[in-house]
């Protein structure tokens, strides 16, 4: 999986193909393998730098390099017994048919253990190693958040919180916390409807998930639907709806007529199954936001949510591969798509209606600057102050940075004259 990502493929795609190839693996082994892939990608900047110092010349074999990175990750960042890690790495090397490299693997890993303090001091001087992010990403964050960039980079390298949204039609947060306590699942409330679980669990094993009592959704993402100010009977468009996290939240909050649009048919299936699990209804439409003529019937919407495709720089800890797959030039491309989406949707909004623009990015180009440019292009728009929908999460100027309780998110609420 690590080799696949380093060759340019997404971790999600690698996971799917790995489980297909190794269908015999039990759930525990899968979880362990997945943990190694995520961990090594989270700290790839540091591991890469360590490996550079430990090797006399670069490795030609990508499998061998991935194997060493994984073993270094285990030695450097986990509590796995060092001798077992070295032994298993040497055996894995043999199993891969790389018998001539067994001595090298053994020597590199033992040298790491022996020279650890000096190596640490040396690589910590290099920013890409210290923060395990590409240099352009570090530079951009430093320029945009001079006071907070280091905290954001560090948060990106933590394990993300697991938050669920309680379906308030069916239970209160306090009732759900009671239920978790009965199942001995430790958790804390966060705001109006979010509950943070202390330890991660697969969705199917979260109490109440199968019966539609809760959905997995980050606490910052749970701010979107309440900010729309929904009233029963409104016509609402969720323009980038899949897999349906925010759309289902909107339907839990009010009886609106909701259209869930997305251009990815496979992801729309996930909207369908989430609606089914939660026993909710929406019109599901497959289409490209940028071309309303192909999916819009001409009836104006009272509320639009545009949760736009973005760099996902606010959720790097959930997708550590994106740090190494994104290119600096991608950001301008995302910004261009987002502005085309905003312009296309604006014509489908009723006068007096509101559009909530959201991204899970922390980069200004996709957020503040995007909205500023929209305000320059359109005269019939007012940017509203975001309603205070949650006492636990403050939204200074719409930008949330990732922290212990929630992901990085951006919100702007625009009203049509």
User: Catalytic site residues?
Assistant: 360
**8 Å CB contact between 67 and 96:** yes
- Least separation in angstroms between residue 368's CB and ligand SAM is 18
Instruction: Output the 3-class SS for 41-75.
Output: HHCHHHHHHHHHHHCCCCCCCHHHHHHHHHHHHHH
From 202, 144, 189, 193, select the one nearest 401 (Cα to Cα). 144
HSE-CB of 269 using CA atoms within 13 angstroms: 2
Residue from 133, 140, 165, 246 in contact with ligand SAM (CB under 6 A): 246
- Least separation in angstroms between residue 326's CB and ligand SAM is 15
Choice between 212 and 244, CB closer to ligand SAM: 244
Rounded to whole angstroms, how far apart are CA atoms 294 and 305? Answer: 19
Residue from 309, 314, 320, 353 in contact with ligand SAM (CB under 6 A): 309
Phi, psi (5° rounding) for residue 394? Answer: -85, 145
316 lies in the site for ligand SAM, by CB under 6 A: no
Residue from 169, 235, 267, 277 in contact with ligand SAM (CB under 6 A): 267
Residue from 264, 300, 325, 378 in contact with ligand SAM (CB under 6 A): 264
307 lies in the site for ligand SAM, by CB under 6 A: yes
Choice between 262 and 366, CB closer to ligand SAM: 262
**Positions of E strands within 63-142:** none
**Secondary structure element (H or E) that encloses residue 368, with its range:** helix 368-377
Choice between 333 and 382, CB closer to ligand SAM: 333
Residue from 39, 245, 292, 353 in contact with ligand SAM (CB under 6 A): 245
366 lies in the site for ligand SAM, by CB under 6 A: no
- Least separation in angstroms between residue 137's CB and ligand SAM is 19
Stretch of 64-72, 102-110, 258-266, 400-408 contacting ligand SAM, by CB under 6 A: 258-266
Record the tokens describing residue 397, joined without a space.
């100027």
242 lies in the site for ligand SAM, by CB under 6 A: yes
Rounded to whole angstroms, how far apart are CA atoms 133 and 12? Answer: 19
Residue from 290, 318, 368, 383 in contact with ligand SAM (CB under 6 A): 290
Record the tokens describing residue 168, joined without a space.
């308030």
- Least separation in angstroms between residue 263's CB and ligand SAM is 4
Stretch of 23-31, 144-152, 177-185, 234-242 contacting ligand SAM, by CB under 6 A: 234-242
Stretch of 37-45, 77-85, 148-156, 282-290 contacting ligand SAM, by CB under 6 A: 282-290
Rounded to whole angstroms, how far apart are CA atoms 69 and 48? Answer: 7
Sites for ligand SAM among residues 54-73 (CB under 6 A) = none
DSSP for 148-216, please give it. Answer: THHHHHHHHTSPPPEEEEE-TTT--HHHHHHHHHHTT--EEEETTTEEEESS---GGGSTTTTTTSEEE
Counting DSSP H helices and E strands in the chain, the numbers are: 17, 12
Task: Return the axis-axis angle of helices 62-77 and 82-95, rounded to nearest 10°.
Answer: 170
263 lies in the site for ligand SAM, by CB under 6 A: yes
Residue from 288, 350, 375, 383 in contact with ligand SAM (CB under 6 A): 288
Contact residues: ligand SAM, CB under 6 A: 240-246, 262-264, 267, 288-290, 307, 309
């Amino acid at each position: 999986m690590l080799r696949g990502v380093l060759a340019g493929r997404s971790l999600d795609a690698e996971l799917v193909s790995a489980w297909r190839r190794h269908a015999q693996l039990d759930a525990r082994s899968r979880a362990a393998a997945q943990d190694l892939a995520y961990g090594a990608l989270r700290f790839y900047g540091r591991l890469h730098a360590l490996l550079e110092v430990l090797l006399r010349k670069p490795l030609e074999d990508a499998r061998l390099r991935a194997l060493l990175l994984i073993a270094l990750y285990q030695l450097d960042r986990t509590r796995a017994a060092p001798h077992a890690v070295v032994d298993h790495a040497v055996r894995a090397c043999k199993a891969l048919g790389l018998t001539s490299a067994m001595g090298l693997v053994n020597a590199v890993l033992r040298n790491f253990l022996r020279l650890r303090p000096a190596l640490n001091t040396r690589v910590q001087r290099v920013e890409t190693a210290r923060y395990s992010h590409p240099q352009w990403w570090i530079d951009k964050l430093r320029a945009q958040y001079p006071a907070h960039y280091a905290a954001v980079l560090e948060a990106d390298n933590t394990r993300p919180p697991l938050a669920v949204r309680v379906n308030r039609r069916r239970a209160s947060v306090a009732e759900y916390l009671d239920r978790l306590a009965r199942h001995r699942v430790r958790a804390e409330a966060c705001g109006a409807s979010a509950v943070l679980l202390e330890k991660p669990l697969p969705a199917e094993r979260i109490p109440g998930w199968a019966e539609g009592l809760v959905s997995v959704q980050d606490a910052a993402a749970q701010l979107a639907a309440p900010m729309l100010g929904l009233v029963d009977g409104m016509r609402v468009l969720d323009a980038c709806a899949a897999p349906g996290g925010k759309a289902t939240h909107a339907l839990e909050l009010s009886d609106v007529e909701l259209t869930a649009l997305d251009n990815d048919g496979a992801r729309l299936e996930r909207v369908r199954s989430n609606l089914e699990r939660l026993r909710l209804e929406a019109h599901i439409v497959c289409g490209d936001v940028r071309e309303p003529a192909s999916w819009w019937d001409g009836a104006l919407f009272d509320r639009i949510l545009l949760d736009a495709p973005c760099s996902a720089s606010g959720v790097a800890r959930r997708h550590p591969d994106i740090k190494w797959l994104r290119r600096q030039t991608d950001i301008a491309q995302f910004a261009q798509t987002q502005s085309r989406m905003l312009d296309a949707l604006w014509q489908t909004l009723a006068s007096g209606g509101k559009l909530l623009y959201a991204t899970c990015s922390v980069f200004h180009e996709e957020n503040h600057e995007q909205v500023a440019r929209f305000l320059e292009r359109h005269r019939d728009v007012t940017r509203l102050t975001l309603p205070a929908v949650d006492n636990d999460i403050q939204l200074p100027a719409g930008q949330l940075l990732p922290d212990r309780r929630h992901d990085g998110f951006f919100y702007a609420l625009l009203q049509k004259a």
